Structure 1
Amino acid sequence: MRLHPTLHHHIVNALGWPELRPLQAAAVGPVLDGEDALLLAPTAGGKTEAAVFPLLSLMEADGWSGLSVIYVCPLKALLNNLLPRLETYGGWLGRRVALWHGDVTAARRQAILRNPPDILLTTPESLESMMVSTKVDHRMWFGDLRAIVVDEVHAFAGDDRGWHLLCVLERLTHLCGRPIQRLGLSATVGNPPELLAWLQGSSKRPARVIAPEAGPAPAPDVGLDYVGSVPNAARVIAALHRGEKRLVFCDSRSLVEQLGASLRELGVTVFLSHASLSMDERRRAEQAFTEARDCVIVSTSTLELGIDVGDLDRVIQVNAPSSVASFLQRLGRTGRRSGTRRNCLFLALTHDDLLTCAGLLLLWSRGYVEPIVAPPSPQHIVAQQILALALQEHRIGSRLWQEWWNGLGLFGPSALPVAEHLVAEGFLESDGPLWFIGPEAEKHFGRRHFMGLTAVFTAAPEFAVLHGRQELGKTDPSLLTASVDGPRLILLGGRTWRVTWVDWKRRRCFVEPYDGGGGRARWVSSGIGGVSFAVARAMRDVLLGEDPPVSLSQRAVGGLAAVRKDNLEIVHPGGTVIVRAPSGDLRWWTWAGYRGNTTLKATLGSLADESQRVDDLYLRLRGDLTAAEWRSAAPALRDRLCLPEVDDKAVDGLKFSAALPRRLAVATLSTRLAALDTAATVLDEPQRFTIL
């Protein structure tokens, strides 16, 4: 074994491992040889050790000193969870590990700056904050950097946090004056080579995907049930698997709260976890769940990633997750004990949800996993990065600034109009050949030492909810302004609270416990929703008679039969169907998914009902459109595909859009909404007119 002898000794004697897992053994050579790599394994597959063990060996063999490894995670809770483990591994070799994110105290940060660790656990936003802070000598602090580990890299790459992270990595590379080894850790993805190429950015190191074949494992136990309502879901969860630890996933915070309250009414020991609960509340819930046995924790995707919540017995999914990849993450939380197998029970609340669940499970059974694709046209991230560089360096050369990203494509010729706009509009001031932060940047992003410039996601405005001095979490302000009869009641942490006072200026509300129930939970979601083309087409296959090969309850069988009977006229194996209802409503059942239908609506122009909200499965056509007019117009549509239109509200919601020319902000959003290939595929299919 090529690992350092001391490390090898502790792996065998302290951990009691007679040998490394396949991924860990396969990663040793490439990492020690300095290659970039993408390490793939299911949840709990030992990815962290696969990266960290050889990096610790390199530290010793090559005499690395100072801050030499940065370990990046998408969630602070995941970092908190990793810290004790990595501190143990580093301690075997006399190496120190430290944690830095928004919840770390100022005093602790100052101590870290005075005495840099060997490994730093952090988030991309905290990295950016360090780089632009006047309190951090970033050239000294990052000067010894040798490697970066990006945990859950798939969770970054699919949105703008990934572009932000990649840009920050390039600036770090420029700062330390050497190529930084890049290691990504991920669960199963549909396109590993492309994900690795994205992570490499400007890196020219040899690179490989490391994903050894897993040994034989029992087939997972996956089931689908139709329960019809949240209270019924709670009854099923309460009755099934008593005495076991059950992790229940819901894909909205409101549903987490409703289900948690229903379970508590049934006397179930239940804990909740979602992003609008305070950190203390989540930690208490996760700790209590870890130590308990007969209990349930209800969570959004906050517990989908590798946070340790102890030895799980069951995973239950209420309605469908957003993707097959997300389902695989959740399924992988179970089956870790010897003699057990992975399991997941789907509970569908409505017939529409039942169809979506069945479609997703059918897609999973075919071995499909979504490819991870970085969002196109991140012009707003280019603007943010130029401003962040000006903060970091105080002055940047008007002809040299692009060098900071080492030839990364985002900062080629397409970035010049963005930079010119920043100067022309006063976001950057010009002093001869130098640029520095201007008054417009101060106006838009300067609050709290430019903190708003370090995060690329926009958080919806929320009010802090306090019981005495204890913060319980946050709630949507609409719950505090809506007209109500009687006391104003909110649901948070699975409990009903009565609002006693609202501090509008400081965005706080104070509450006290309320025993009568009836609280409401609401949060505004952001981002592009809807199912994908792949899931939509699998749902159509279900309507056409194909069942997912999972355990179907009698209620699920009956529900699917009812769904098929009620929707006979909207599917056909030979193409898509256009249906005119007796009311005159004309719908084209495209089964194209949200982005596909958004693109088709733009392409159809006056043929479509322009007032409609786009659906995942169909488009409304103009009510007076005849079959002859459609057949005359349809053949030409394939050759004039259009990008979707975006409204002013959407543009204003794009982070940093104020720093972009309006046309570039609109182009960014319309490009991201578009699914041109999907639209072309649908238009190539035969269309059948049906009159009910």
Structure 2
Amino acid sequence: MSEYFDKLPWFVKEYIHACRWSGFREIQNQTFKAFYSTDDHILISAGTSSGKTEAALFPVIGSLYNNPPESVGALYIGPLKALIDDQFQRMGPILGESELRITGWHGDISRSSKAKLLENPSGILQITPESLQNIISYSPEEVERLFRDLRFVVIDEVHAFMDSDRGLQLLCCLQRLEVLAHCSPRRIGLSATISDREDAAKWLSADTGRYVSIVYDGSTNDRRIRIHYNYLPKSDEETDSVERKKAVTRYYLELFRETHGYNCIVFTNSRQDAEVTAKSLRIVSEKKGYPDEVSIHHGSISKEYRKIAEERLKNPSVKNTTVATVTLELGIDVGDLDRIVQIGAPFTCSGLVQRMGRSGRRGNGQELILMCNEDEEEWWSTLDGVSLGLVKAIAMSELVLKEGWTEPPESNSMPFGLLYHQTMEYLRSGIGCKFSVLASDVLTMYPFRDIPKEQYRLMIKHLVNLGHLQVMSDQTILIGPNAERLVFGRDFCSVFSTKKEIVVKCDGKMIGSIQNLPQVEELIQLAGRVWTVVKISNDKSSIEVEECDGEACNPWRSGTPPTHTRIMQKILEVLSSDEDYPYIDDAARQRLAESRETARSIGMTSMFSERKGGFRMYPWLGTRQFDTLRRILQKVIGTDSIRSFQPYYIDIRTKLSEEQILDRVRDYAEEEDPIRLAYDEDLLKYGKYDRFVPESLLIRQFAVDRLDMDLDL
């Protein structure tokens, strides 16, 4: 053991001995050094099974035990209730008989447990951003008593917060808490392996004035990816396509061979794909004589069903395959996994790294099998004869394996919807204030640092006109009558929108939920099985079902994350080169050669390809820059002359030459204000509270945070 072992309290030492650790890992020793030798904030960036949680919590626990705080001493903030519950269970054996109290706090935690903390605040509080927001807003007078001796804030899954308004909300909460409680806690951020660690450190510090020590495990030598390619022909409506059935059967047999006998997760990019995959794989497994080998885990399945899947994965005596979406991407403990399978190229490189990181425990390397299916029934699976999914999968693998690259965070610099939310949260206690105080206390929060006071004043006037605020004769601002129902509602603390779904029950037990209300006797698919609807509740909020045979499809609507320009450029590099990739199978190698030949022959690798009456342009830009280019082309050539498939190509009907098109685009990008491109009213309101923001500010927000005039053409 290292020198830091002696600094830990006796019960942590007992835990370490019980786990038979031979020593600390390098990431842990580095963290301990930063913790004990500096007063810095600390950012720990490492893979899922690297031991970074213990690296952060062991010294925090030791500090609180050796010098008990007079209030809550440490906050652990996680993005998911399930992750908080999981960490709560993991902390029990570590704390042992220390009497150091740990309290969980979110919507599913009992009132009695919360009441004990309120009566005697101490120890460690595990909480979500929304619950922390509620404590600060509803009981600002209690914040100092609860947190006056707060010393540490541990933020888990920092990378999951950085790209969202939810992460900005968390920074607002922490800043407000520090002001109300007169404390200055040390922040410790836990993150997956990310390439842009300086930005993550800047986010973690957020104007606290304290330096951030970065502890990083950048090893990529133990990462392995294998890419398998499958071609699925289109069905013939008259014959139901025997060939397609054979191809689909071969694919699921291959998936069974790659997963049977292993503890593994099969990741998909959507809930619908997870349902189809789980059902089909379960059928193959049952035919092979292995029932109950396949589970499913996604956000529309009940907590109880998800828990069953998690417990099966953690059971070392049972080999289980769980088909999952992003819900198992974060660090919920699912035990030692043998391998990971990904169906189709994931949306982001950071997601690929995170999913791959779920394997590699027991000292083994991280292994991911990427199944690329070119399905002719999905029109987007090929692009002008090029196997889009395959080439993208190779490009992302190259970025991750050879360059260690992941997407940098792109949080909003003008989050006006969040500014509305924080303004109302500030006023929710019922004590009004003048505009100068609002501007001093709210507008100075880190997420609003780029918003001028004049724009905030415009927003306040707009809210007064809406009746969301009211101004008294002495200029005191209060919450207005038209906002009371919203602001004092139970969901106001969250800054992300959730769609209301139909609850699905069997024998009174909840299975999960779906978005669209079906009819009686209609078939639906959920939890990897098919059900027939037998009853619909009077208020149409729930349905009763029975399991049955058959085929069904109930798609869930959800957004697609943007693609970064670096990925698009790497796709172009893959198509333009003759490099061989040893991790792809023979079928993938042959299809890649065909795709390269096609891409070069039609001009895909040279930006412009001639079409009748104009060109097809392949700009190889990410989603944000691609959309900016499309909007510029509509301005300089004409809206009716532009058609696009984002972010891959733009069809241009024109008599202009290639160079003339590029000249017009470059001139516009250099001379014009991007605000002129923000004209889609529906697209302006992409945040939960944007509908209460003046349109002029939404246009500015869209131009700054959704467009990019820096086009490298």
Q: TM-score, normalised by structure 2?
A: 0.87
1:373 maps onto 2:414 in alignment: no
Equivalent residues of 2:267, 2:343 under 8 A apart: yes
Sort the Cα spacing of 1:207 and 1:634 in 2 relative to 1 into closer, same or farther, 3 A: closer
Task: Give the aligned CA root-mean-square deviation in angstroms.
Answer: 2.6
Correspondence list, 1:583-598, <5 A = 584=613, 586-598=615-627
In structure 2, the residue matched to 1:290 is 314
1:440 maps onto 2:472 in alignment: no
1:648 maps onto 2:685 in alignment: no
Sort the Cα spacing of 1:433 and 1:17 in 2 relative to 1 into closer, same or farther, 3 A: farther
1:279 maps onto 2:283 in alignment: no
1:226 maps onto 2:229 in alignment: yes
| Post-superposition offset of 1:547 | 4.5
| 1:546-571 alpha-carbon deviations (Å, 9 max, x no partner) | 44744111111122122223322455
Distance 1:487 1:384 in 2: 43
Give the residue type in structure 2 aligned to 1:656: Y
In structure 2, the residue matched to 1:667 is 700
SS in 1 for 2:491: helix
Correspondence list, 1:301-380, <5 A = 301-338=326-363, 340-350=364-374, 351-367=387-403, 368-380=405-417
Distance 2:11 2:712 in 1: 55
Give the residue type in structure 2 aligned to 1:593: G
1:492 maps onto 2:521 in alignment: no
Equivalent residues of 1:607, 1:625 under 8 A apart: no
Equivalent residues of 2:143, 2:177 under 8 A apart: no
Equivalent residues of 2:644, 2:651 under 8 A apart: no
Sort the Cα spacing of 1:65 and 1:29 in 2 relative to 1 into closer, same or farther, 3 A: farther
Equivalent residues of 2:161, 2:167 under 8 A apart: yes
Q: 1:261 aligns with which of 244, 267, 279?
A: 279
Equivalent residues of 2:344, 2:373 under 8 A apart: yes
Q: 1:410 aligns with which of 433, 443, 448?
A: 448
User: How many equivalent residue pairs?
Assistant: 664
Distance 1:211 1:631 in 2: 42
In structure 2, the residue matched to 1:532 is 564
Sort the Cα spacing of 1:240 and 1:88 in 2 relative to 1 into closer, same or farther, 3 A: closer
Give the residue type in structure 2 aligned to 1:365: L
| Post-superposition offset of 1:393 | 5.7
Equivalent residues of 2:643, 2:652 under 8 A apart: no
Give the residue type in structure 2 aligned to 1:579: S
Give the residue type in structure 2 aligned to 1:281: Y
Distance 1:154 1:600 in 2: 29
**Ranges in structure 2 where 5+ consecutive residues have no aligned partner:** 233-247, 287-292, 375-386
| Post-superposition offset of 1:106 | 3.4
Distance 2:341 2:548 in 1: 29
SS in 2 for 1:13: helix
| Post-superposition offset of 1:357 | 0.8
Equivalent residues of 1:379, 1:665 under 8 A apart: yes
SS in 1 for 2:428: helix
SS in 2 for 1:472: strand
1:430 maps onto 2:466 in alignment: no
SS in 2 for 1:102: coil
In structure 2, the residue matched to 1:581 is 611
Give the residue type in structure 2 aligned to 1:410: F
In structure 1, the residue matched to 2:432 is 395
In structure 1, the residue matched to 2:123 is 118
Distance 1:534 1:425 in 2: 43
SS in 2 for 1:263: helix
| Post-superposition offset of 1:134 | 5.7
Distance 1:157 1:389 in 2: 23
In structure 1, the residue matched to 2:377 is none
| Post-superposition offset of 1:653 | 4.1
Give the residue type in structure 2 aligned to 1:439: P
SS in 1 for 2:518: helix
| Post-superposition offset of 1:647 | 2.8
| Post-superposition offset of 1:623 | 4.7
Sort the Cα spacing of 1:285 and 1:419 in 2 relative to 1 into closer, same or farther, 3 A: same
Give the residue type in structure 2 aligned to 1:612: R
SS in 1 for 2:282: helix
Q: 1:196 aligns with which of 183, 195, 201?
A: 201
Distance 1:632 1:416 in 2: 40
Give the residue type in structure 1 aligned to 2:158: V
| Post-superposition offset of 1:28 | 2.2
Distance 2:698 2:251 in 1: 43
Sort the Cα spacing of 1:306 and 1:4 in 2 relative to 1 into closer, same or farther, 3 A: same
Distance 1:375 1:570 in 2: 38
Equivalent residues of 2:147, 2:183 under 8 A apart: no
Correspondence list, 1:620-635, <5 A = 620-623=651-654, 625-627=656-658, 630=661, 633-634=664-665
Give the residue type in structure 1 aligned to 2:458: P
| 1:39-97 alpha-carbon deviations (Å, 9 max, x no partner) | 12211111111111111222134331321111011111111111122233334532011
Q: Which piece of structure 1 moves more, 420-429 or 154-163?
A: 420-429
| Post-superposition offset of 1:401 | 2.8
Distance 2:189 2:603 in 1: 42
Distance 1:380 1:155 in 2: 20
| Post-superposition offset of 1:668 | 2.1
Sort the Cα spacing of 1:310 and 1:408 in 2 relative to 1 into closer, same or farther, 3 A: closer
| Post-superposition offset of 1:343 | 0.7
Distance 1:112 1:512 in 2: 44
Sort the Cα spacing of 1:425 and 1:501 in 2 relative to 1 into closer, same or farther, 3 A: same
Distance 1:258 1:511 in 2: 19
Sort the Cα spacing of 1:436 and 1:91 in 2 relative to 1 into closer, same or farther, 3 A: farther
SS in 1 for 2:424: helix
Distance 1:118 1:514 in 2: 50
Distance 1:628 1:11 in 2: 68
Give the residue type in structure 2 aligned to 1:452: D
